[in-house]
Amino acid sequence: MGEPRWLIAPAWLWMVTFFVAPLGFMVAFSLGVNEGFFTVKFGLHADQFQRLWDPLYLNIYKDTLVLASIGTVGCLLIGYPFAYFLATRTSKYRTLLFFLVIVPFWTSLLIRTYSWVLILNEQGPLSSFMQTVGLIDAPLDILYTKGAVLIGVIYDYLPLMVFPLYVAIERMDRSLIEASRDLGCSRWQTFRRVTLPLTFPGIMTGCLLTFIPMMGEYVVPTILGGAKTFLVGSLVSNEILTAIDWPFGAAVSMGLIAVMLVLIIVYLRVLGRRAEEGLGSVL
């Protein structure tokens, strides 16, 4: 109880030095100009952003936004009924069932993504199963397409959607549903006018937490996307690791930060005071 306040200082300093300051370096790079191999002229140049404002690159952003949107909606459609199922179990099973969602989330994203290569490939178990059943008559051709990337991101980030939804549904005042039904609302009306508004902070939080990492995803498109899928994450890593054009790579990442900031502002605006409740539910 009597712990001194300065105990927060080391963590604070650490985060400022190794999280905030590097972001400052990235901003500096994005305002610089590449002058050959590993030489960057710093200054206040808008060159990188002008270059970014080109249909070629804007289309990559558009493709990524579309993928992240579909992925987020997919997570919500799968995650909402699932979170509802979880939250309405008796407390004995609830703990165990919730625990079973946490475990895969904390295990290696790389391995979980890689396993889809084993499942989705032409000679894989899914392909043979679907051919045997007669759903398809040629080997399954989905690996190394956008479809596979979509499956991958939904699989990887579903738990991040489920956690806040679960908390929101569990906290909901259950008697309100009963009241709504007693007053003559249909099941659908009750869901739309009572359950949905009450769990709205959970929905918003879940969407924020899945959309942002999907926008900057780099591992999933590399493993499941093949050469045809080129997303913002692939562009950034390409500029940094292969093209060695750091100023441009930094500018592309600034685009990701811009998307993130816009979403956070929208989130805080829409939820207002309920934002803290939404975010606080995640851990």
Partner 1 sequence: MSASAERVTATRALELGGDRAVTRALRAHGALVYVFLYLPILVVVIYAFNEARLVQVWQGFSLKWFGEAWRDPTLRRGLWISTYTATATALLATVLGTAAALGLRNVGRRTRTAFDGFMYMALITPELVAAIASLMAFVTVGLPLGPLAIVITHSIFNVAVVTLILRARLAGMDRSLEEAARDLGATRWATFVQVTLPQLLPAVAAGALLAFTFSFDDVVLSTFVSGPGSTPLPVEIFSALRFGLSPKINVVAVTTLTITVTFIVVAQVLLRRAERRSAATLAAEVTDA
Ranges within 173-192 binding partner 1 (CB under 8 A): 174-175, 177-178, 181, 187, 190-191
Of positions 222, 238, 245, 277, contacts partner 1 by CB under 8 A: 222
The least distance separating partner 1 from the CB of residue 56, rounded to whole angstroms, comes to: 20
The least distance separating partner 1 from the CB of residue 174, rounded to whole angstroms, comes to: 4
CB closer to partner 1 out of 60 and 212: 212
5 binds partner 1 (CB under 8 A): yes
Of positions 43, 58, 125, 243, contacts partner 1 by CB under 8 A: 125
68 binds partner 1 (CB under 8 A): no
Ranges within 202-221 binding partner 1 (CB under 8 A): 208-209, 212-213, 215-219
The least distance separating partner 1 from the CB of residue 58, rounded to whole angstroms, comes to: 19
For residues 230, 236, 241 and 244, what is the CA-based torsion angle, rounded to 10 degrees? 110
CB atoms within 10 A of CB 163: 22
One-letter amino acid for residue 185 of the chain = C
- Segment interacting with partner 1, rule: CB under 8 A, options 43-51, 58-66, 111-119, 129-137: 111-119
Q: Using CA atoms, how far apart are residues 183 and 181, in angstroms rounded to an integer?
A: 5
CA dist 140 to 47, 70, 121, 128, 151, Å?
Answer: 45, 22, 7, 8, 14
Q: Using CA atoms, how far apart are residues 33 and 27, in angstroms rounded to an integer?
A: 12
Cβ atoms of residues 78 and 154 within 8 Å: yes
CB atoms within 10 A of CB 19: 9
37 binds partner 1 (CB under 8 A): no
